[in-house]
Amino acid sequence: MRFHLIAAAALLPLLAVAGLQATAHATDPATPSGLQRGTASGLRRDADAIRALGVTGVQARVTTSTKTLAVTSGVADLGTGRPVPAEGRFRIASTRKAFVATVALQLAGEHRLSLDDSVERWLPGVVRGPGYDGRGITVRQLLQNTSGIPDDLPGYTNPQEYLDQRGDVWTREQLVTRALAHPLTFPPGTGWSYSNTGFILAGMVVERVTGRSLQQEITDRIIRPLGLHQTTFPGVTPTVPRPHAQAYERFSPGNLVDVTDQVPGDPDSIISSTRDLARFFRALAGGDLLAPPELAAMRRTVPINADVELVWPGGQYGLGLARRPLPCGGVYWGHDGGDAGYITVTGVTSDGHRSAIVSMSTALGDSLDHHLQQQRAADTLIQHALCRTT
């Protein structure tokens, strides 16, 4: 369904999808042998473990300052059995929150806004209603999910709802209005709750500060400088650029539905690739996009709530960036996302030297247990990749 926080997963009987028997393949023949020897077999094994849960297609990429390894597992299309493209495009969903936060922090570094500015200063009259006062909610709280602003986002829970709603177009203002019809989750600054609405408002603040569209700011400040040639904004276009794997949702056991074609539920949706996301997160962690004070502010974290703790064990949340513990010691950073069948899980070391990105083209969300199975399998891939030293 739309607006997954992270991955949804399930154990799919493999007899129902015989095409999933494809093995993982190294897909970057130019990869130096040192990284292949040290990582390839483990990366293939972890990608296959995700596929074995019933995920139709998996792309995984590990990148260091000098080396890259990409593997795939499964198939891109259950109907044709074509292979998963190593450079496949996909909707990154909530992973875009790291892009929005980066732009906001750049503006803070330029003294064009303050993280402690109120929402009311930049969006007068927008956050109003019973229990709401934009004067008491800050930009920092929007970016850290501590504003107390809830979500009420459109979505579908079965194949018929998908067919009925896949062409719906929602504006930011409409999504904010839906959310503000509900009471605050908690008084601003007193708790933590994942809020897509907060980031919608943050994007609106960026536009008010700059007088330009959020898409243009992300393009000029991130996409163009980093050469993210596979990163685009679909707008209301329902299709995904080629090459791509088809996206599937599992609404109930044994019920996989192709949900590739639909208007993105997020007006600022981004389509990208594992290559581009690796470049973005390594540049971010390495200090290429933010000056030290702003990067430090982004990494100043708070505890997450119990519901999300189930999904991100040991996790904490900064400004559009999550921190997770590594089993080999230390921490890693990233932001996961899931929407319309595409699930993205990311990780980068604190110094930006090593990143791991996995894209899955199936959201198997028929139970919480299965949701957690897929997330755990993806986390395992990321953590193994970041902990390897070769």
Residue numbers annotated as active site? 94
The helix/strand/coil state of 334 is strand
Residues 6+ apart with CB under 8 A from 34: 67, 390
The answer to whether 342 and 247 are in contact (CB under 8 A) is yes
> Which DSSP string do the residues of 169-191 spell out, in sequence order?
---HHHHHHHHHTS--SSSTTS-
Q: Are 364 and 370 in contact (CB under 8 A)?
A: yes
DSSP reduced 3-state for 369: helix
Residue 325 belongs to what H/E stretch?
Answer: strand 322-325
| Cα-Cα end-to-end distance for the chain | 38
By CB atoms closer than 10 A (0-12, 13-18, 19+), residue 353 is middle
Q: What residues contact residue 328 under an 8 Å CB cut-off, 6+ apart?
A: 383, 386, 387
User: Is 271 within 8 Å of 234 (Cβ atoms)?
Assistant: yes
Tokens at 55, concatenated: 């995920």
In angstroms, how far is CA 28 from the centroid of its own chain? 24
Q: Which residue has the tokens 């998996």?
A: 58
- What does the alpha-carbon distance between residue 326 and residue 237 come to, in Å, rounded to a whole number? 38
